Amino acid sequence: MIQESAVKDIVKQIIQEMDLGAVLNEAPLQEVTEVQPTGCEAVEEGEIPDVAAVDLRQQYLIENPHNGEAYLAIKSKAPCRLGIGKAGARYKTEPTLQFRAAHSAAQDAVFTDVDADFIEKQLGFFTVQSRCENKDVYLTRPDLGRQLSEEAKKTIAEKCKKHPKVQIVIADGLSSAAIEANAGEVYPAIVQGLESQGIDVGTPFFVKYGRVAIMEEIAEIVEPEAICVLIGERPGLITAQSMSAYMAYHAEKNMPEARRNVVSNIHREGTNPAEAGAHIADVLKMMLDQKKSGTDLKL
């Protein structure tokens, strides 16, 4: 084993050979008198551009690309975080801020409740609640989000019309932003489509902290032929405003998922809300005509 003293002698010899003192003397430190900008656009007046408003399909940040136009043409088909470039070993500032903004929007959609004024004044719905006492319970106990509270059961029994052809319900799900952004257009479009075909629509209402399968307990009370639940989808980094419509014919407790139909991805950049409403009405009409839903339904 090499002795410590021998190691010290070797290090000392190497330092002497490098002559670090001479190197430092040849390149004295210089005082920095002015900092030059390095490409960041200074904003003197007005507002800083909203990074969340950038269309990712048109964003291409690769420097000196081999065939940038072809890459951008492919990227224009979907809002993917590709071709965003790097600054050394890290991501550039703009895509980093965009990622954080999208992540924050997704978190807000999950943890924020739907505005009560939107439900009561704009839609004119009454509100009931699942067995979840708060948002934390809703996120950690999915089973309770599928069940109505005793008070909710009583309220629905008192206020809702019994045995309608179609019962429509809105539930917050995992995105309050999705409900506020889309329900105001989707619901009237569904009702208009159904009523134009002479289909009776039940009394609509809103379920706080509700999940898809809560339709089963609602159907047990109201006894509609078909039921439709508009619910906020789990938000992602592309959009936090995506809503889905789950439908079933003669829904009942513990029914298999195969008996449900869904129209998903309802938002401004996906399935247009008004068009989605018209399509949902058509699917519900097919359920009533064929007296079946899910994988048995012929679309």
Reported as a single tens digit per residue, the pLDDT across 11-22 is 788 877 776 555
Residue ranges of domains in the chain: 68-111, 116-290
Pairing between β-strand 226-232 and β-strand 243-249 as defined by DSSP bridges: antiparallel
> Is the pLDDT confidence value at 197 over 70?
yes
Task: Confirm if 185 and 117 have CB atoms less than 8 A apart.
Answer: no
- Residue 23 pLDDT class (50, 70, 90 cuts): low
Give the pLDDT score at 47: 74
Burial class (CB in 10 A: 0-12, 13-18, 19+), 221: middle
- Global pTM value: 0.79
Query: Can you give the pLDDT at residue 238?
Result: 86
Residue reference for tokens 């081999």: 66
Kindly report, residue by residue over 50-70, the tens digit of the pLDDT: 888 888 888 888 888 889 899
Pick the residue with more confidence: 30 or 209? Answer: 209
CB 181 within 8 Å of CB 241: yes
Please indicate if the annotation marks 195 as binding a ligand. no
Is 32's pLDDT higher than 80? no
With 80 as the cut, is the pLDDT of residue 224 above it? yes
Q: What angle do CA 211, 212, 217 make, to 5 degrees?
A: 90
pLDDT at 78: 84
Rg of the chain over CA atoms, in angstroms?
Answer: 30
Question: Tell me, what's the pLDDT at 13?
Answer: 82
What confidence score (pLDDT) does residue 7 get?
A: 79
Higher pLDDT, 262 or 6: 262
Name the pLDDT band for 35 (thresholds 50, 70, 90).
low
At residue 170, the pLDDT reads 98
When pLDDT is averaged across residues 64-81 and rounded to a whole number, the result is 88
What pLDDT score was predicted for residue 219? 97
- Is the predicted pLDDT of residue 38 greater than 60, yes or no? no
Residue 42's pLDDT is what?
57
**pLDDT score, position 135:** 94
Across 149-164, average pLDDT: 97
212 is in an annotated binding site: yes
d(CA 35, CA 82): 32
Place 28 in a pLDDT band, splitting at 50, 70 and 90: low
Architecture of domain 116-290: 3-Layer(aba) Sandwich (3.40)
Higher-confidence position of 71 and 39: 71
Q: How far apart are CA 295 and CA 299, in angstroms?
A: 10
Model pLDDT, residue 131:
97
pLDDT greater than 90 at residue 81 = no
Q: What is the pLDDT of residue 201?
A: 97
pLDDT attached to residue 16:
76
> Which 8-state DSSP code applies to residue 119?
I
